[in-house]
């Protein structure tokens, strides 16, 4: 059997041998020509020459496998994946700026040109090039951080007018800023590509989610619908939908919801944006910006032989990572915290140097408890190593 017989495509995909298999097959063919007693170990010239050929074949086959896999968004990587998703009308997200929805208050008809707001840390937030205050004296616009990357601002901290303008009286942010993201990873892009295919789906809500995820700056979306005659457990009114959107321009998000939702379907949320349809009729669209809920964790453990502060830091990081991977509205279940606290997912050799005896959590200033913490559908549980306390016994 020749080397080529080991390389083929079938229902399972591209099949190819590893380097040791290729090397042994070449040795077998060499012996068939020169005799079974020929010496082909690594310290022989013939053995080294065969190994060079086997390595070249193995490298070539690897390239062929990568080319084959690059044709599918499920297996493509890097630039190949970036090219693939263009078929779905999306592109890999570049590093983004943090964004914050700002409520602008002032005299009607005031036009703010290149306005800038400032938070309590002195960080600048850039308003759209032109902001016109309507007759109501109040408008919500999406401001962009002056610096790219992870620039944070808690609710109520962007309150200073950095570019005074006659008629502009006040500014504040009701919600936390949406933190800027690094360049989109392959895993994130694959997930967004899968969601984007739902746009023409029969499910209108899935289509809305897919359309919003395509918007610049949007990093996470969750959607909920109440098609009953009664207000549901999430307090969503009858025959209404509610979207929770992190990042993206508020007006673009509202316009997308308005264009995609069914006629007569209500919207529910704390961010209200006025959209105008093709006939010039205004319509208010409501949706949620996620509310970050910082979770404090208190871990009581018994230190055994080999325990160090470094291991304690790894426990803190593991718990913070677990909390940050929870989705919008996902409750913090106390029993689930024991796995990351024990470093079980890390195959960590030092996991036998301590014994976790209890884990307690709290949100905000609530008292610590061993009970589960309920998270509202528009809330996002957040972990931080600084908020993980280890008590040694």
pLDDT, position 196: 67
pLDDT band at 151 (very low <50, low <70, confident <90, very high): confident
pLDDT digits (tens, 9 = 90+) for 170-224: 999 998 898 887 777 777 777 777 766 655 555 788 889 988 988 888 888 999 9
pLDDT digit string (tens) for 317-342? 999 999 998 988 999 999 999 999 99
Q: Specify the pLDDT at position 152.
A: 87
Percent of the chain with pLDDT over 70: 94
Structural contact between residues 286 and 258, judged by C-beta atoms closer than 8 angstroms: no
Using the predicted structure, report yes or no on whether residue 1 has a pLDDT greater than 70: no
The DSSP code sequence of 58-119 is: HHHHHHHHHHHHTTSTTT--HHHHHHHGGGGT--PPPP-EEEEEEEEEE-TT-EEES-EEEE
Over residues 278-283, the mean pLDDT reads 88
pLDDT of residue 131 exceeding 70, the answer is yes
The residue ranking higher by pLDDT, 55 or 204, is 55
**Quick one: which H or E segment has residue 296?**
strand 291-303
pLDDT surpassing 70 at residue 79: yes
Q: Give the Cα separation of 362 and 350 in Å (integer).
A: 28
Tell me what the mean pLDDT of segment 225-232 comes to.
93
310-348 as b/e, with b when 16 or more CB fall inside 10 Å? ebbebbbbbbbebbeebebbeebebeebeebbbbeeeee
Q: What is the pLDDT of residues 109-129, one digit of tens each?
A: 999 999 999 999 999 999 999
Mean pLDDT, the chain, integer: 88
**Other residues' Cβ atoms within 10 Å of the Cβ of residue 308:** 12
Q: Does position 164 have pLDDT exceeding 90, yes or no?
A: yes
Q: Please report the pLDDT score of residue 334 as a whole number.
A: 94
Domains and CATH numbers, the chain: 3-69 (no CATH), 97-172 (no CATH), 198-287 (3.30.460), 291-392 (no CATH)
Smallest Cα–Cα separation from 171: which of 271, 104, 100? 104
């Amino acid at each position: 059997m020749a080397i080529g017989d080991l390389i083929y495509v079938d229902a399972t995909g591209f099949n190819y041998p590893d380097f040791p298999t290729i090397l042994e097959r070449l040795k077998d063919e060499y012996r068939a020509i020169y005799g079974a007693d020929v010496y082909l170990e690594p310290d022989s010239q013939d053995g080294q020459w065969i190994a060079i050929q086997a390595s070249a074949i193995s490298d070539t086959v690897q390239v062929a496998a990568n080319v084959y896999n690059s044709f599918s968004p499920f297996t493509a990587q890097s630039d190949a994946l970036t090219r693939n998703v263009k078929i779905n009308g999306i592109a890999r997200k570049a590093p983004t700026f943090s964004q914050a929805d700002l409520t602008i208050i002032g005299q009607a008809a005031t036009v703010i040109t290149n306005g800038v707001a400032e938070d309590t840390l002195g960080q600048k937030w850039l308003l759209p090039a032109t902001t016109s205050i309507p007759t109501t004296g109040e408008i919500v616009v999406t401001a962009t951080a002056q610096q790219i990357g992870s620039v944070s601002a808690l609710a109520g901290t962007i309150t200073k007018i950095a570019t005074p303008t006659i008629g502009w009286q006040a500014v504040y942010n009701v919600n936390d800023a949406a933190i800027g993201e690094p360049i989109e990873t392959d895993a994130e892009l694959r997930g967004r590509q899968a969601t984007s295919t739902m746009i023409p789906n029969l499910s209108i809500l899935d289509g809305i989610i897919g359309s919003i995820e395509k918007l610049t700056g949007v990093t996470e979306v969750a959607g909920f619908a109440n098609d009953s005659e009664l207000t549901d457990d999430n307090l969503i009114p009858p025959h209404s939908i509610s979207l929770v959107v992190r990042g993206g321009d508020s007006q673009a998000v509202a316009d997308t919801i308005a264009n995609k939702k069914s006629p007569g379907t209500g919207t529910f949320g704390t961010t209200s944006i006025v959209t105008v349809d093709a006939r010039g009729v205004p319509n208010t669209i409501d949706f949620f910006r996620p509310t970050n809920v910082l979770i404090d964790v208190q871990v009581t453990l018994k230190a055994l032989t080999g325990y160090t502060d470094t291991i304690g830091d790894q426990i803190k990081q593991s718990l913070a990572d677990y909390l940050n991977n929870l989705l919008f509205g996902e409750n913090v279940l106390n029993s689930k915290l024991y796995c990351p606290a024990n470093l079980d997912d890390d195959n960590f050799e030092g996991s036998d140097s301590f014994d976790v005896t209890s884990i307690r959590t709290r949100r905000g200033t609530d008292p610590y408890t061993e009970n589960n913490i309920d998270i509202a559908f528009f809330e996002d549980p957040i972990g931080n190593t600084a908020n993980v306390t280890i008590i040694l016994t």
